[in-house]
Amino acid sequence: MVFRIFKCIIVLTIVLQGYQLKAVQTEDFAIEKNFSSFCFQCHGKKKTKGGLNLEKLLQQKPLIRNRVQWNQVVELLKSGEMPPEEEPQPGNEVRKSILATLDKALNHFDYESIDNPGFESAKRLTNHEYNNTIRDLFGVDLKPADRFPAEMTGASGFENSANTLFLQSTLMERYIAAAERIVELTLPKEPKTASHFLTRTMILIAKPGETTTEREAAEKTLKKIIKRAFRQPASDRETDQVLELYFKFRRRGNDFEASVKQIIQGLLISPKFLFRVEQGNPTAESFQVSDWELASRLSYFLWASMPDSELFELAEKGTLHEPSVLSQQTERMLKDPKAESLGRVFAAQWLGFRLIGTRIRLDPIDNPWCTDSLMTAMRDESAMFFNSLIREDRRIANLVDADYSFINEELAQEIYELEDVLGTRMRRVTMRNPGRGGILTHASLMAVTSNHKETSPIKRGNWILETLLGLPFPPPPPNAGVFKEEVAENDSLTFREKVELHSSDPSCRSCHSKIDPLGFSLENLDYFGRWRESYRVRINEKVKESPPKRRRRYEVKPVDANATLPDGTPFNGPAGLKTVIIEKHHADLVRQVVSKLLAYGLGRQLEYYDEPAIRRILTDLEKDDFHFQALLKRIVNSYPFQYKKNQITQSVK
Amino acid sequence: MKISRRTMLKAMGAAIALPTLDIMTSNGLRASTATQPVNRLAYLYFPNGIPRGIWHPEKVGPHGELLKLNEWMSPLEPFKKDILIPRNVWTPQGNGHGAGTATWLTGNDYSRRKVSAGGISVDQLAAEHTGSETLLPSLELSMKGKGYFSNSLSRNAISWSRRGIPLIREVEPRSIFDRMFRPATGGATDRSVLDMVLQDAKSLRKQVGNADQQRLDEYFDSIRALEKRIEFAEKQTLRIKADQTLTDSLTAPEPGIPANHEEYMKLMMDMIVLAFWSDATRVATFMLDHGQSNRYFNFIPKVRGTWHALSHYGNASGMTEDDDGSTSWDSVETKRDMYAEVNRWHHRQLAYLLDRLKSISEPCGGTLLDNSMIVYGSSLGDGDDHDEKDLPTLIAGRGAGTIKTGRQLNFKKPTDLSNFHISFLNRLGVEIKEFGTGDKQIDELNG
């Protein structure tokens, strides 16, 4: 009976799917035909202007897969900017019908029809995670990975993204050298320092003696370190294997300690340590990860390190996945200083202030005042600020409109012009200038979004839209960034005026009318975030001599930080910008914070099938009044964070 | 010609002391005892292209013989008989700083989303073939990046494995040296320990999903490479012990990265020489900078601004988004000259490498340079035109007697770089007819 009902449902589903498929196909056909007549010529197989190949994009179904690119297409179609004036134009009706089809596919897609928590392939520990894990395993912060090859980042923007974490012999060599060195340094034959003794109590937990046989002592010691290093309890087979190895080393004449130490060196190069591997599942269904795996997901998300004993205990009990336990653990973990990795790793990579020191660098000739300690303080300011938002459970909007920051004397002197901050310690300071406070005004980000010694309103505007608010633009046309000659050569114009003229060019306007005002309003902050009311404008003059020469001179002009949004809303300066972002873009900001944290938490770039989880978090978050800790709890309780689905892949040759 | 120990030391730079050994009569540290000369392949990548024309020789003979090089190429004048300069080379799939760099050696298209350069790169294909005879299949070296894009994957990856993985590039001379000569320590490299971790990997492989298995295969590969390295090091230790003349042991360069850019680059080149000479590998790639280097070359007299900014010499205002905001130039000509000057500086470094290779004699005759194919090139033609046409591509060395050097090859039609890759692969014994967008050999290399 049950079987028959089942069968009916299956048949019905197939029929319904068939029906849907047919409807979709008809629409597809119409849209493909329209695109082919008006767009493929420049954006198809033959030419991919602006890097856009609509022919290829149309084949990737559902269209929602490439939501970002399609939204850009919609924008350009809506504004009438595409197809370009000189090309054949679709009539109004056709344009409308294309837009309607896209609207349906993009904005009314039935997300509930997807059940895919996504798949994370085994992830090698990032250099950050490796350092932290070693610190927590041995109780000493050795940072061995600082000399490993630098991590590269791909599309997700985070180093912990599985698709860029490869393992190669080059790196393996480093792991081996590190494993040997770590054990030598932390467990020397004759312990001398306090940290030597601490590591011994953590690792050498048993000794052969009167009440303990050698086998028992070795087993106890090795099982404990395996559990902590592999983040899973040792299986019987693993235990047998290491004990066998232990006695092999003993037969060679090594003592108890030396044998255990050599095994630990081996554990540190085992794939079970170097990778965060999760059990597979032979079915195509989604399944919940084990509590041990969840413990690792949680600790690498919130701490960028291994789980601690409390998480291990809950995993052992099997209660970690219960929502109340998980929320309580999240709260506990966020109080731990290890959670600072959210500011130092996550926020630094998302917002880009990790580039201070590499991209913005010490230049003793040009910026003698820009010292290593100042750059460290700049990075610390942003990291500490981000961490305070989480620790104090503030609202997401406070990221932009907070009235405090963390500074020390050097920052106060060089950047913020504050008198009463003394000493190297970073401390919390209330910012009285409404144009200060909030991530948008941080020295670090003002530097990262500037050119070498000059602000770039375009870079800043673009950073706000793309990085902070998650509203990317199509890439600029190939000749972008170059002023037309008559603009470039007109020396009576300020840079702002030139940008404005440049942006009035119709092919530039649609993006620049959004980018520029945001950047202009930050002109009060110079290329290192120092406040200014006026700036020097460089003027190149042609001198009538023979041969003709150019001479440079500088003129002081007042800063014009007035700006107008495309909808006509005027605003002024950093303070005005903050208000505009909170009033007009709060939803974008929240969505971006959610997406970025989720991508970092999952260790992969987000896909269209993550949209249901994002929407659910967003809806719930409104009830939580957009507080950070609530958000983190929502993420760890979310479907993709707790579940996974095996990817069906063809095996690689 | 015998090489004195002093010459050898000089050749290797002061930081490394090589063993005293007569490399004419003894096979030295060589793993192979081939009676035929072996052939090697190295690709040296430089970013940002060149001002078009600065590679055109000043005087050529009736058959394209290089009689006098352009002033910007003057550091290579002593090697004009050892080099070949093809003109009109291109990559049909396009160019650029990101995609162009990533696909320079794959001849394919780049996908950012998939992190894929469209297939295996030519050096890795070569390494698969020659790798069984040497310690390391190949060496991937880079100058440590500075500034923007230092962490951009596509701008830092020219070598791609068969699995489609961009290979990690070594930036520290010492770690390259260690990969060739560091003996096994007996800790984590103990045979029983390695057996244990391999057991771990095998048991994991059974438990995980399909896609994870690939990650574990990467692990197996890296352990296998490690085992090979240990074996090689042991063999060498035995050789050194057996050879009475080997009184000195190999001394490694200091850990870390030299602050002086030129010293650093020379040390990296020494590592290539050392690797080729000891037959630790026959395939190497070296990125002289990442694909969009904006390094300052202010240490060259009269040069101002970043390399990438200089390459866009057409606008000297200092006001484009490529500029640093503080440097501008009097004229397009001044800017272009500075750009060319940066290129000339790199030609000088290339000359250093060629000089080293040429000063070492091979057991089967000829010099190390004669038995190598050193390709020096960029994925951009002219930096300001930003095009994939007329890519600067220079070949040095006679490929073990298979390349007739000392000429300019002036191709009438755009000639696919992939066809050069095919020609080099064939010369290493890789029988291949198609690669990337290419489908034939360049017959003109033979002369």
CB atoms within 10 A of CB B14: 11
For the cut 70, the answer to whether the pLDDT of residue B242 exceeds it is: no
Do A43 and A163 fall within a single domain?
A: no
Of the spans A166-170, A280-284, A334-338, which averages the highest pLDDT? A334-338
Among the partner-chain residues B162, B188, B203, the one whose CB lies closest to the CB of A265 is B188
Could you tell me the two tokens for B115? 């992190």
For the cut 90, the answer to whether the pLDDT of residue A45 exceeds it is: no
pLDDT tens-digit map of B286-303: 999 999 998 889 899 989
Do B360 and B417 fall within a single domain?
A: yes
pLDDT tens-digit map of A346-367: 999 999 998 887 555 555 445 5
In 3-state terms chain B splits into helix, strand, coil percentages (rounded to 5) of: 35, 15, 50
Do B30 and B163 fall within a single domain?
A: yes
Percent share of chain A, pLDDT over 70: 86
Collect all residues of chain B within an 8 Å Cβ-Cβ radius of residue A245.
192-193, 196
Strands B139-142 and B283-287 come out as parallel
DSSP secondary structure code for residue B143 in this structure: P
pLDDT tens-digit map of A584-637: 999 999 999 999 999 999 998 888 889 899 999 999 999 999 999 999 999 999
Among the partner-chain residues A150, A172, A278, the one whose CB lies closest to the CB of B223 is A172
Do A86 and A166 fall within a single domain?
A: no
Asked if residue A525 lies in contact with residue A575, where contact means CB atoms within 8 angstroms, the answer is no
The model's confidence at residue B216, banded by pLDDT at 50, 70 and 90, is confident
For chain B, the first-to-last Cα distance in angstroms comes to 28
Collect all residues of chain A within an 8 Å Cβ-Cβ radius of residue B199.
241
Residues 321-380, chain A, touching B (beta carbon < 8 A): 358-359, 361, 366
Do B368 and B412 fall within a single domain?
A: yes
Do A59 and A196 fall within a single domain?
A: no
Do A56 and A11 fall within a single domain?
A: yes
Give the max Cα distance, chain B: 68
Q: How far is B62 from chain A, CA to nearest CA, in Å?
A: 41
Do A464 and A507 fall within a single domain?
A: yes
Do A181 and A259 fall within a single domain?
A: yes
Structural domain ending residue among the three candidates B197, B217, B251: B251
Residues 514-573, chain A, touching B (beta carbon < 8 A): 527, 538, 540, 549-550, 552
Cβ of B222 within 8 Å of Cβ of A268? The answer is no
Could you tell me the two tokens for B141? 């070296």
Do B270 and B400 fall within a single domain?
A: yes
Residues 241-270, chain A, touching B (beta carbon < 8 A): 241-242, 245, 248-249, 262-263, 265-266, 268-270
Cβ of A278 within 8 Å of Cβ of B208? The answer is yes
What contacts 24+ positions apart, CB below 8 Å, involve A628-631? A628/A389, A628/A390, A628/A393, A628/A394, A628/A395, A628/A396, A629/A330, A629/A331, A629/A334, A629/A390, A629/A393, A630/A393, A631/A396, A631/A593, A631/A594, A631/A597
Q: How far is A147 from chain B, CA to nearest CA, in Å?
A: 9
Arithmetic mean of pLDDT over chain A: 85
For the cut 70, the answer to whether the pLDDT of residue A481 exceeds it is: no
How far is the C-alpha of B223 from the C-alpha of A406, rounded, in Å?
46
For the cut 50, the answer to whether the pLDDT of residue A333 exceeds it is: yes
> Can you give the pLDDT at residue A43?
87
Peptide bond just before A90 cis, omega within 30 deg = no
Residues 4-23, chain A, touching B (beta carbon < 8 A): none
Do A323 and A373 fall within a single domain?
A: no
Give the max Cα distance, chain A: 102
Of the spans A137-151, B355-369, B397-411, which averages the highest pLDDT? B397-411
Do A263 and A234 fall within a single domain?
A: yes
pLDDT tens-digit map of A11-34: 444 444 444 445 555 666 777 888
Assess if residue A603 is contained within a domain: no
Assess if residue A118 is contained within a domain: no
Residues in Cβ contact with B127 at an 8 Å cutoff, skipping those fewer than 6 apart = B137, B138, B281, B283
For the cut 70, the answer to whether the pLDDT of residue A172 exceeds it is: yes
Distances (CA, A) of B52 to A407, B60, B71, B412: 50, 18, 14, 17
Collect all residues of chain B within an 8 Å Cβ-Cβ radius of residue A270.
196-197, 200-201
Collect all residues of chain B within an 8 Å Cβ-Cβ radius of residue A171.
168, 222
Structural domain ending residue among the three candidates A258, A276, A294: A276
Do B170 and B190 fall within a single domain?
A: no
> Can you give the pLDDT at residue B420?
97
Do B267 and B152 fall within a single domain?
A: yes
Percent share of chain B, pLDDT over 90: 48
pLDDT tens-digit map of B387-399: 888 999 999 999 9
Assess if residue A641 is contained within a domain: no
Structural domain ending residue among the three candidates B234, B251, B268: B251
pLDDT tens-digit map of A133-145: 999 999 999 999 9
Among the partner-chain residues B115, B147, B213, the one whose CB lies closest to the CB of A164 is B115
Q: Which domain holds residue B246?
A: 183-251
Q: Read off the amino acid at residue A536.
A: R
Residues in Cβ contact with B67 at an 8 Å cutoff, skipping those fewer than 6 apart = B57, B58, B59, B60, B61, B80
DSSP calls for B396-418: ES-TTTT---SEEEEEEEEEEHH
Do B66 and B15 fall within a single domain?
A: yes
Instruction: Determine contact: B67 vs chain A, CB below 8 A.
Output: no
Of the spans A420-429, A453-462, B10-19, B185-194, which averages the highest pLDDT? A420-429
Do B156 and B17 fall within a single domain?
A: yes
Do A264 and A379 fall within a single domain?
A: no
The CATH number given to whatever domain includes residue B357 is: 3.40.720.10
Collect all residues of chain A within an 8 Å Cβ-Cβ radius of residue B148.
359
Q: Which domain holds residue A369?
A: 344-575
Structural domain ending residue among the three candidates B251, B276, B302: B251
Asked if residue A220 lies in contact with residue A261, where contact means CB atoms within 8 angstroms, the answer is no
Residues 422-461, chain A, touching B (beta carbon < 8 A): 450-454, 456, 458-459
Assess if residue A211 is contained within a domain: yes
Assess if residue A612 is contained within a domain: no
Assess if residue A583 is contained within a domain: no
How far is the C-alpha of B442 from the C-alpha of B302, rounded, in Å?
40
Do B48 and B195 fall within a single domain?
A: no
Provide mean pLDDT across the span A280-284: 74
Do A413 and A454 fall within a single domain?
A: yes
H helices of A236-366, in order, are 236-251, 256-267, 271-274, 291-302, 309-317, 323-335, 341, 348-351
Complex-level ipTM beyond the 0.90 threshold? no
Do A443 and A509 fall within a single domain?
A: yes
Assess if residue A312 is contained within a domain: yes
Q: What is the pTM of this model?
A: 0.77
Among the partner-chain residues B151, B197, B216, the one whose CB lies closest to the CB of A269 is B197
Cβ of A170 within 8 Å of Cβ of B167? The answer is yes
Overall domain count for chain B: 2
Cβ of A153 within 8 Å of Cβ of B153? The answer is yes
Could you tell me the two tokens for B429? 């014994």
Do A293 and A250 fall within a single domain?
A: no
Q: How far is B107 from chain A, CA to nearest CA, in Å?
A: 18
Do B269 and B152 fall within a single domain?
A: yes
Judged on CB neighbours under 10 Å (0-12, 13-18, 19+), A460 is buried
DSSP secondary structure code for residue A223 in this structure: H
HSE (side-chain half, CA atoms, 13 Å) at B111: 11
Overall domain count for chain A: 4
Structural domain ending residue among the three candidates A536, A558, A575: A575
Do B34 and B172 fall within a single domain?
A: yes
Cβ of B168 within 8 Å of Cβ of A149? The answer is yes
Do B160 and B62 fall within a single domain?
A: yes
> Can you give the pLDDT at residue A365?
47
Structural domain ending residue among the three candidates A575, A600, A634: A575
Instruction: Determine contact: B363 vs chain A, CB below 8 A.
Output: no
Cβ of B170 within 8 Å of Cβ of A149? The answer is yes
Among the partner-chain residues A121, A170, A262, the one whose CB lies closest to the CB of B193 is A262
Sign of the torsion formed by the C-alpha atoms of B419, B423, B428 and B429? positive
- Comparing A92-96, A527-531, A575-579, B208-212, the range with the smallest average pLDDT is B208-212
The model's confidence at residue A101, banded by pLDDT at 50, 70 and 90, is confident
Assess if residue A549 is contained within a domain: yes
